[in-house]
Amino acid sequence: MNSPQNNTKVYIGIVKQLRSMIEHDGLKPGDRLPSERELSERLGVGRSSVREALRALELLGLIETRRGEGTFMRDFRGHQLVQLLSTFILQDKKSIRDVKETKFLIELDCLWLIIQKAGEDRLLRFRKWTLEADYTDDDFFLEIVTLAENHLFLRIWIILKDYYNSLDLEKMMITKQQYAELIDTLISRKDSEVIRVYKELRNLSKD
């Protein structure tokens, strides 16, 4: 009890030090991290502890290791994370419905965000693009979620998409008319009551 806090495990500390190291050196996806042996020496810990930290980060999809080459920053796309979330957290059948619902609502939110954030000209071009694009394709919604400029939504959506595709469900078919109608409705309601209140609330949370 009296002892300070020897609780923190070494590998957790390594994860933190790696984080600050990445931040300090400004490492981008694709950049190489120091070797395991060098990290072990620089941080004054055993190599196995370094490996435990690296393996954990790898499973999270944050880094990538190639034997003989080294350890590299990864373009976070939650690869392993997908299967883990899908097998551990989303194991019950009921949650498949939640995935559908959540994925769709996020797409709707992103559509909303695009329309809110875009100016008149961008809005027109976007409207035109939606008419030409193939919205039954994953890439269409990927573009939608990307344009929303919310990295968090993007990450979550990608995970949901991968999980959704890993199931052998039929695609959610949407007619072009329906989707166009939805977009037009959202655009026309850009200044409706819901949006107005939403905007006011948003303004309160400016940084």
Per CB under 8 A, residues contacting its own copies are 11-12, 15-16, 19, 23, 48, 51-53, 55-60, 62, 76, 80, 84, 87-91, 94-102, 104-105, 108-109, 112-113, 150-153, 155-156, 160, 172-174, 178, 181-182, 185-186, 189, 193-194, 197-198, 200-202, 204-205, 207
Smallest distance, Å, CB 202 to DNA?
43
Which CB atom, from 70 or from 139, has the smaller least distance to DNA? 70
Q: Residues with Cβ < 8 Å from 147, sequence gap 6 or more?
A: 110, 114, 126
Which one of its own copies, DNA, none is in contact with 68 (Cβ closer than 5 to 8 A by kind)? DNA
Instruction: Answer yes or no: are the C-beta atoms of 73 and 58 closer than 8 Å.
Output: no
Residues near DNA (CB under 7 A) are: 3, 6, 9-11, 33, 35-38, 40, 44-49, 51-52, 54, 65-71
Contact partner, 173, from DNA, its own copies, none, Cβ < 5-8 Å per class: its own copies
Q: How far apart are CA 101 and CA 196, in angstroms?
A: 25
**Strands, DSSP E only, in the chain?**
32-33, 63-66, 70-73
Which residues, 6 or more positions from 42, have their beta carbon under 8 angstroms from its beta carbon? Answer: 34
Residue with Cβ nearer DNA (65 or 146): 65
Compute the least distance from the CB of residue 38 to its own copies, in Å.
19
Exposed / middle / buried, residue 204 (Cβ in 10 Å: 0-12, 13-18, 19+): exposed
CA–CA gap between residue 38 and residue 60 (Å, rounded):
22
SS3 call for 31? coil
Closest CA to 46 of 54, 56, 37: 37
Distance CA 162, CA 149 (A): 20
In the bound complex, what is the minimum distance in angstroms from residue 98's beta carbon to its own copies? 4
* Nearest CB to DNA, comparing residues 1 and 89: 1
Question: What minimum distance in Å lies between the beta carbon of 43 and its own copies?
Answer: 16
Least CB distance to DNA at residue 15 (A): 11
- Of the two residues 65 and 116, which places its CB atom closer to DNA in the complex? 65
